[in-house]
Amino acid sequence: MADGISEYQSNLTTEAPKPKWVKSQPLIPTQINYARELLEKRHQLRDIHIEVVWPFLKYLCFCLFRKRKPSFKLGLKRGLRQRLGIKVSKSDRLLEEDPYLRLGYGLNAYFDIILQLLYLMIFCMLVTVPLMFSFASFDALSGHSGYAIN
């Protein structure tokens, strides 16, 4: 038992060997382009204009926003298709209007559900606030303790 403890203590006092770092080679242009492509795939909404993300801001700060530029890639795609005589697809037009479509069905369904819940809460508020005011106008609870507001 004593040997195990002393061996454990000796292991604690000795330092682990330091790793030898390999000198890294500079990246070649194809590796840099591949890294850029990966970043573009992962961050598809990087170039979205702020008024698309928060549409209410265009009414509050209309003088501060510049006109939204169309996407270069979609413009290039549209130009090539027109040059070849191919009609621009409906999905490309929808992507220009709503960039969130790139993120897939799940996220768009989530946004739709959140919007429906918002409408439901507004409806419930419109129904219950007048009820609360009408119930508060009576003096049935005025004699009870804790009823301070009438």
Mean pLDDT along residues 12-21: 63
Prediction pTM value: 0.49
Hey, what are 84's tokens? 């070849």
Mean pLDDT for the stretch of residues 75-84: 86
CB environment 122-147: b (16+ within 10 A), e (fewer) = eeeeeeeeeeeeeeeeeeeeeeeeee
- Give pLDDT tens digits for 47-70: 777 777 777 777 777 666 667 677
